[in-house]
Amino acid sequence: MTAEAEPLPLTATLPVVEGRLYVGFARVATMPNGRIGMSHLMRSKFDKMGEEELKELVVESLDNLMSGLNFKGFRDDELGTLVSVERDGPGAFGVILLNDFHEKAAAQVGADRLVVGLVSPDHVYFAAAGSGQAEQIREAVLGSPDTSSELVPCLLHLDAEGIEIIAERSR
């Protein structure tokens, strides 16, 4: 994902928030030296894929995004519920792409309108919009020191209608 005005021109991307947030496709593996290696799917190959091949790509990608996700809830009587999302391995930020994310997240915090903080590719938090926890998430996003990827830490508003970026850390 990238919170850039335009996606990388040669790579295959789809908009999450048109003109602001994109998801790209890549094969990812841990290298022998412990670092993460990526091989991006190029737009030229993506544009030539048939319907079945695209369907397979999306199904495999969603399966990979769901693999190893862990949700941890923290309840504070004054601030409300905060949920952190972690993954066994890198890339918890993809959780927002799951078809049922809004429904499951809303049930966990007891509200339809959510604030989701993409603090880094590996640190995602969500809470009810308007709660004290939402303000904590905003502060974490705006103060994030993370520069590990194309993802600019951002704060999302999420409800049944869709996703919008409501704040992002300055570059």
Q: What pLDDT, in 10s, does the model give residues 28-72? A: 778 899 887 888 889 999 999 999 998 898 888 888 878 888 999
User: Does 139 or 98 have the greater pLDDT score?
Assistant: 139
pLDDT-derived band at 7 (thresholds 50, 70, 90) equals low
Residue 2 pLDDT more than 50?
A: no
The answer to whether the CB of 80 falls within 8 A of the CB of 115 is no
Where is 115: in which H helix or E strand? Answer: strand 114-120
Both structure tokens of 162: 């869709």
Both structure tokens of 86: 């972690």
- Chain segment 78-132, per-residue pLDDT in tens: 999 999 998 877 788 889 988 889 999 999 999 999 999 999 888 999 999 999 9
Q: What is the predicted pLDDT for the residue at 30?
A: 82
Q: Whose CA is closest to 75, among 157, 135, 113, 131?
A: 131
Q: 44: which residues sit within 8 A by CB, 6+ positions away?
A: 10
User: Does 156 or 54 have the greater pLDDT score?
Assistant: 156
Measured at the alpha carbon of residue 118, what is the angle toward residues 120 and 164, in degrees to the nearest 5?
A: 150
Token pair 């590996």 is found at 122
Q: What is the predicted pLDDT for the residue at 143?
A: 94
User: Does 65 or 161 have the greater pLDDT score?
Assistant: 161
Residue 19 Ramachandran class (φ > 0 left, ψ -120 to 50 alpha, else beta):
left
Q: What is the predicted pLDDT for the residue at 5?
A: 55
Q: What is the predicted pLDDT for the residue at 154?
A: 93
Q: Please report, as a single letter, which amino acid is at residue 90.
A: P
